[in-house]
Structures are given as C-alpha cells and as structure tokens.
Chains A and B, each alone.
Chain A
C-alpha cells in the first residue's frame, strides 16, 4: 500500500539521509501549553517560528487490520498509526492546577464572585507536555508554596470578612459543625475523627491569637485546610488496578469535567454509593456536561490543543488592527459551540458555520458586516476551523500563505504526527520569481527535505493555497492559477483531493484523525501521558468520535476502567 510506504518511508528517510537528518532531526518537543505560534519552519515561514510540535508521536507503522477498528466507510483500521510513547508517572497525588485551585477555593468558600487569587501564581518550569495540566507539571516548589500560602490567607480573609460571606460559608456559629462541614467540602470527603480534633485545635488557636469570635477561628481553619495536601492534591491511594472509591471518583469526575471540587450533592451521591457503578457515574457526568463550568473546561482543552490564544497574538504589519481582537474570540466561540451543540471532531473539520465580527466579515467577504461577533454561515467553499480566517491568518505571511505552518499544524494537531523541528534554523524563503507560485517556491526550497516536507507537511499545506496570508480567498498566485490539489494517505489509502475542502472531508472520516483527537482528550482528562496500554480505549473513543459527539466521547471515557480505576502502571 503506497500510503503506508509513504508513512514508513518518512520515518526511514530521517535515518538514512544524513543531510536530511541533520536538518530534519527531531528536536525536543515544544510545550503545547504556552499557546504559542503555529509551528512553521522558522526562517522559511518568516513567522516567529517556535520549534517543534508539542510532544506528539511521529507516524509509525501502518494500520493494524487485525485490530478491526475501522471507521466509516469500512476502511481498514489505521488508528494504530499514532505512537503512544508517553511516559506517565501515574501519580497518586495529583496537585490541583492553578485554575482548579481558584475554582475549588471559590466553591468551598462559597464566594459570590471570582476572587482571582490565582492570577499571579507562577507556573513551574516543567518538561514538555501536551497540556498544562499534565501530572508532570504539577508540584509544589518554593514559589508555589508561597503563592498558595499568601492566597489562602487572602481567601480566608475574604470568606470571613463580612457577615454575608460568613453566612454563605457556614450557617451556624459552632466550631465543631464548621470544621466538619467545611472540612468535608475542602477535603472532598468526611474528616476522620483525628482530623476533626486537629482542626478544632486550629480553630481554638485562631481565637487565641486573634481574639474570641467565630470568624477568627474559622479563618485559621480555612488557611490551614487550603494549604493542606488533602486539599492541594487529589489522591488515589487504593490498590493498583482497583476501582476508585466513591469520594475519589467524585473528585476525579468533578475536576475533569468541571475543573472544580465536587459539589455537596456529588459528595452525597458518593456517600450513597451512587457513583460506584459506571451507570451512576454516567448519570453524574451527563448532568455535569450541561453545566457552564464544563464549557469552560472544554474551552481550555481546545484552546491548548489548537493554540487558540495564538490566534489573537499575531504580530504582522499587514494584519489589520481591527481584526486582532476578534481572532481568538471567534476561535473559542466556534469550539464552544461544537461542544455545546453535541458535535465533535467532524464539525471541527467540516462545519460550515463560524463566528464573525466586523473585522472578520471583511476577510470573509460578508456583507453587511455584523456589529459584533456572531455565528454565521460561511461560503460553502469553507468548511471547518482550519479553513477559517483565524487559523489561516495565524499561519500566514504578509506576502502569502505560510504553507509549511499550515501543513505542520494539520499534521500535528489533527493527525498527531510529530513533525520534527529544525535543529538549525532553515534559510528563509527566497523572494518569488516572476511567474513563480508560492507552491513552486516552497517545493524548490524544501526539495532536500523530502521526508518531512514532500510526504507530510507540503501536501497538507498546499491544500490551503486557495487562501492568502490573511485568510482571504484567492484564485491566482503571482498571476498563475492556484493549485491546491494533492494526495495524502487517508485510512491507509492514498487519496487525491482538489483543495482543503476535500482534504477536510477526507480527514473527517479518517480513523487517525479521530484517534488523535481521542488521544488528546484522554491525555487532558486523565492529566497524564497516553501510552500503548491505552490504545484499546483510544480506539473505542475514536469510534464514538466518528459517529457521535465530544460529549459522548467524554461519557465513554468516564465509564472506562482508565477513569474509574487506579491504573496498574508503575508509579
């Protein structure tokens, strides 16, 4: 099969051709979570090229027909083309992310409005991971300790500083009841007798130091509990491979789907045993997925996966100033809608709707332009996010499309192919010659890097030749008719396409694309690297992705052993 040969040949070429290897050799993976620019070949694109893809596996051997995980259209399974060579630590003490901390504090203290206590928290320097919530990035160093301490003190002051705040915190005025009730919320389970005794001692100390009064005692208890490892870490301390207990799974579910601590109702359900079955867990998950906090979590997921913050951070003289504020917001709202409407990857790749504001309307040629950002139908020639202006503009240059950046983004973000970054900066593209198209220029400039470019990046990037550097339609390139056609192995078979629209339709049916999406979702939800042992789960989720929605993928994930059990991997 030619397609597989290409994929395998790509991997082989890197090793066999010294010159190629020296410039296309895999460099350390770039962190995805910094919301950086789309990867392009620095220099060639002229963009502020950040190197490398975030921790994504390269193309591996072709499809495993025996796996039987074909997709729509009965194509042989090719989802095994994604390497799953992560290195999770399977932590049993998962520190809360800064965002989880902020929401959890607001939840347990019953804040009426966001306190923004974590906005100045430092982010520890960490190894490259796909997402910022990866277990390997979450620990308490000296700076984090000072951040948590200071913010806990401020939170305690806010929670006890007014009668209204105290009333929301706890209806009574007794230390015993407060320690028990607040402790259950903060530690996400009932306190033990020993813990109740210790924290009642803290309450008494608070009154001793600061004067008699419920607020003084409560404030010190709050400070202590918010700094306790029982608040700062979500623990899974049961035997390896055994199911999580009700409180553990309640915490895991709530932080994964809502980014915050479990509600009183969820803790009650845990206590009643309602979360001990996968059906009970599913019911709870479905209810959570309709809450606004779930939208916020999935917004963060898509934002990191597709680097949506980078859309608004484009710094090119040719980008109209009026456009910049719309780019990120239009992107985020598109993905919000995909999730909220019960859609998924297929819509990400093929939706005919987009969010358009007055600036973007000009780029899309929409008249009259809306007064503010709203959802509109686009010209049918544009489908999916990767044919929308925010993506095309970010992967664009002032003198035309950034073909390599566009191709690399699709390879990395849709197909989980880790396009190696250049070790040495590549030379810049020469100016266009008379009558030369951008496509011809790129082909000439990358001729010696066939393994990365001719087989992977270029075909995917050339599909978008019909759009200029600002994401506007174009039919001619330097006076020559645009050629956006190409061929690409999809589902193990090399398929021709005339343009990006046809490519997106092909990828929407491609098992690899759905498996890639499943891999990313799994890594984000479980907060760890994904490995070979997860492949059956990914194949199941990919099958759901092809025919159903992101919400259904999440429900399937929640029902899985990977979610409900303590993994058996080495700690």
Chain B
C-alpha cells in the first residue's frame, strides 16, 4: 500500500463499521422497500452540501479550452463548440464555467508549478519554505476549512493522482492550516478500503440483516424520543434537542438508502490496485476511480469535503494522445514545449507539443466528465459542488491570470448552472468564499474573508 495512506483509516473505525457492518460483510446495499422513500436530505433544512475541489497541472491551451464567449451553456452548444470542454456537454445543465479569475499577487514567483498549486485552494500567496520548490501555504485550503467547520477534527478526503513519491514536489494542494500539508491518498484502493472494509462472500444477506436490525433499533429509539418529548416537564430547549436527535436518526436512515451503495464502483479495477505501483500512463485512470469513490463517500455522508491533486507539479504523466504517441513526452515537457523542466519554449517553436497539449486538455475533460457521471448518478447535483481548476492558466506562460475554473453542481441551490461567466479579473478568494459559503449553508455560515483579496462573494457565480 502507499506510504501516503491517509490518516483517515485510523480515525474512522466507525465509518468502516457503518458501511461494512459489524460482522465485516461487504455492503452492497439494495434500496429496501421498508426504508422511507423520500429524496435524500429532504429532511434537513438546509441540508448538507458536499464540496470537492480538483486541481490539475501545467495549464491549458486557452484558445481551445472554453467556448469563444461567455453565455448560456447547453448540451448541443457545448458539444458543437469544438473546444476541449465540449467533452463535458452531457453535463452542461449543471456546469458553471468561469474565466477572469486570478491568483493573488505575490512579489516573486520562484516556482509557478508548486506555488500555483498552493494558491489554488488557499487563495493566498504561498510561503517560500526554504527551497522555492517546497512552497507551502499561508492558510488552510478550502477543503480543509469546510471539513473543520462541518465535522471538527475530521479532515477532508485528500487525494492525489500522480507519482506522489517522486521526491521533488509532490502534494501541494490540501492544507489543514498555514504550512500544514494534509497527508494524501494516492492509491484509490486505499480510499476504497477506508470506505468499505474488506469484502467477504456474505454479500447482500449481511447487508439486509444490518439494515433491518438498524431499522428496528431506530423505530424503538424514535418511539422513546417521541414519548420523552411529550413529558410535561421538558422545556422548549430540551424538546428541541430531542427533536434534533429524532431528525438525526431519520437522516441516517436516508443515508442508508439508495444512494449510499457500491453500485457504479469498478470494484475489480480497485481491487487490482492492491499491488499498485505508479505508472505514468495511468494518472487519469486513477482520477476516475478517485472521483467514483468521492461520489459514493458524499452520498454516504462520510465527509463533507474532498480535494484531488491531479498530476504532479512537474507532471510525469505521459498522455497517449495522437501528437505525443511517438515522443512519449511527460506532460511537463509538452506544456513547456521543450524537453525541459526549467526552460520554456513556445507554440511556434514546437507546434506538435502545442497540439499535444490541446489533445491532453480534451482527454482531461473526458476524464472529468466520466468522474462527474458518478456524482450525477448518485443524484448529487443539487447537494454538491465540484470545482476543477489548475495550478496556472497556460502551459508556456505559467500565467496566474485568467485561470480557468469549472464548477459542477448547484451547491445546494447556491450557484448558477448552465452558464459560462467572466469574473472580470478578480482573485480566486472571492470564488472560494462563494463555494465555501455554499458548502456551509447548513451551518448558517457565510464566508467572505477566506484567503487574500477583496472581501465578499462572487456575484456572477451565485444563483
């Protein structure tokens, strides 16, 4: 197993027990007729919102990425755009594209690869930690912030798709606080284990026993709570507390219903990763598996926030796109237009690399679309937001201006959907203020001062 296995495992025996069952049986949970048939989270007002932040690396080919101009997004229109994001057409109704978002300014950029990643979810200038390649954060990242507000002491699901052991820069995305890098899970099999426990052959019978026994316990506890709430000497505060307890049981039951299942997981592919060794050609495959697991984790109310670093800062991924098939350049070289980690060329100097980069962008959008399919299948569009961005905007320029952002999901009705908007050159803190506020609606928290930059949310992103 990866040495970077998350701390999640040793702090979450309760979650493993929940999805596995005390007897250790694999849980493939059918939707039982005996469970209340209602929309998930309908009981809560407002319900919890789940937030997933993804940053990939090495920029995009801007001219070929987003549609030509801001405006409504439709499936047909996006599919016909001829841009990399046309791969997301099936999700157009739930998408928000944002241009015009910049990283905060800092005096000297020593290593845009690392520093850009640090800024992506913290919205703060990075702190040079001795060696510029070890840039660290000046504050928490958005995923950690949400996790701490929603379930204190239990961090986000922090994931990595790439060669986390490359010894150079590795993870640089999720921070619990200033300079406090969160450990990451790079092998999706390890996340699968954290969520599921070990599979046995007991299968559905054990799952049914567990659900039926829980239902009976819940019925009895609810009866007792109802009786207590009628006690003449209980005051309003006590009754409210008991009602809160009553509602919490109902929420747990709903969680157990249809959406919190292993349906849709590629279990054979996950189990084949038991002897995982990093492979330069399999980064996007890991991304898809990670995303499928995060979707299930959210549907099971496992964690409220997650993050995924998609690629190494100096990405070692080799994309087998047509224009890179012969060269087999790692993606950093493609994005630099040169076979160099430090020197940077230009499109005119290497049009083949430029073309390869555009092709990689399309592949990455296909991967993103496949991952979002899992969120859609679990009915999370209204209860979730998935933000995708990069460490910097463009390959050769490494620019921190106009960094593309894609948001999927309404974030609990907070966010616009089906739109491509121009944020007008504002800093990413305002977008993150908006997304964090969306994610924390159930905590009645509005965040306007996350990171560095003008206070307030980004109105163009809000419904």
Contact = CB atoms under 8 A, between A and B. Distances in A.
B209 A120 contact: no
A120 B13 CA distance: 8
Contact of B13 (A139, A154, A205): A154
B385 to A, nearest CB: 20
Task: Identify the interface centre among A91, A120, A150, A202: most chain B CB within 10 Å of its CB.
Answer: A150
A102 to B, nearest CB: 13
B245 interface: yes
A145 B13 contact: no
Given A120-B12, A154-B17, A571-B237, A141 B244 contact: yes
Given A220-B213, A229-B242, A237-B233, A123 B152 contact: yes
Contacts of B301: 142, 146
Nearest to B11: A120
A198 B228 CA distance: 16
Interface string B218-245: 0011001100100101111110011011
Interface string B1-23: 00000000001111101100111
A224 B209 contact: no
B280 interface: no
Contacts of B221: 224, 227-229
A143 B147 CA distance: 13
Interface in A172-210: 198, 202, 205-206, 209-210
Interface stretch (B104-112, B119-127, B247-255, B396-404): B247-255
A571 B236 contact: yes
B245 A198 contact: no
B213 A150 contact: no
B274 interface: no
Contact of A92 (B22, B214, B233, B255): B233
A198 B221 CA distance: 11
Nearest to A240: B233
Contacts of B241: 91, 93, 95, 139-140
Contacts of B236: 571
A224 B224 CA distance: 11
A336 interface: no
B245 A140 contact: yes
A466 to B, nearest CB: 34
A105 to B, nearest CB: 13
Contacts of B18: 146, 149-150
A344 B283 CA distance: 62
Nearest to B217: A224
A288 interface: no
Contacts of B165: none
A369 B15 CA distance: 47
Interface string A135-161: 000011111111101110110110000
Contact of B213 (A121, A206, A238, A571): A206
Contact of A89 (B212, B237, B242, B244): B237
Nearest to A124: B152
Contacts of A120: 11-14, 154
Interface in B323-340: none
A533 interface: no
B17 A153 contact: yes
Given A125-B443, A239-B233, A142 B252 contact: yes
A357 to B, nearest CB: 28
A147 B220 contact: no
Interface string A553-571: 0000000000000000011
A224 B225 CA distance: 13
B234 A93 contact: yes
Contacts of A341: none
B216 A205 contact: yes
B217 A223 contact: yes
B282 interface: no
Contact of A229 (B14, B154, B224): B224
B313 to A, nearest CB: 27
A230 interface: yes
A122 interface: yes
Which secondary structure dominates chain B's binding surface? helix
B265 interface: no
Interface string A236-268: 011110000000000000000000000000000
Given A122-B152, A154-B13, A224-B220, A209 B443 contact: no
Contacts of B12: 120
A492 to B, nearest CB: 39
B152 A227 contact: no
Contacts of A125: 149, 152, 443
Contacts of A153: 17, 21-22
Contact of A571 (B21, B238, B443): B238
B225 to A, nearest CB: 6
A123 B251 contact: no
Contacts of A151: 14
A202 B249 contact: no
B153 A202 contact: no
B45 to A, nearest CB: 13
Interface in B137-174: 149, 151-154
Given A142-B251, A228-B220, A229-B224, A91 B152 contact: no
A206 B214 CA distance: 11
B426 to A, nearest CB: 26
Given A92-B238, A209-B212, A145 B14 contact: no
A209 B209 contact: yes
Contact of A205 (B213, B225, B228): B213
A156 B17 CA distance: 12
A223 B213 contact: yes
Given A122-B153, A571-B234, A571-B238, A198 B220 contact: yes
The residue among A93, A119, A139 with the most chain B CB atoms within 10 A of its own CB is A93
Contact of B224 (A147, A206, A230): A230
Given A91-B237, A156-B22, A122 B154 contact: yes
Contacts of A227: 217, 221
A141 B213 contact: no
Contacts of B245: 139-140, 145, 229
A299 to B, nearest CB: 21
Contact of A209 (B151, B213, B224, B252): B213
Nearest to B206: A210
A143 B151 contact: yes
Contacts of A139: 241, 244-245
A484 to B, nearest CB: 35
A193 B113 CA distance: 70
B214 A149 contact: yes
Contacts of B21: 153
Interface string A114-136: 00010111110100000000000
A172 B18 CA distance: 30
A235 B228 CA distance: 10
Interface string A56-94: 000000000000000000000000000000000111110
A145 B44 CA distance: 15
Contacts of A237: 231, 233-234
A122 B151 contact: yes
Interface string B415-432: 000000000000000000
A29 B109 CA distance: 40
18 contacts: A90-B235, A95-B241, A125-B152, A139-B245, A141-B248, A146-B18, A149-B214, A153-B22, A154-B14, A157-B23, A210-B213, A220-B216, A220-B217, A224-B217, A229-B221, A229-B224, A230-B224, A571-B238
Closest 7 CB pairs of A and B: A571-B235, A150-B14, A145-B248, A140-B245, A153-B22, A157-B22, A142-B248
Given A153-B17, A237-B234, 12 more contacts: A123-B152, A125-B149, A141-B248, A142-B48, A143-B151, A145-B249, A149-B252, A154-B14, A202-B216, A227-B221, A228-B220, A229-B225
Interface of B: 11-15, 17-18, 21-23, 44, 48, 149, 151-154, 209, 212-214, 216-217, 220-221, 224-225, 228, 231, 233-238, 241-242, 244-245, 247-249, 251-252, 255, 301, 443
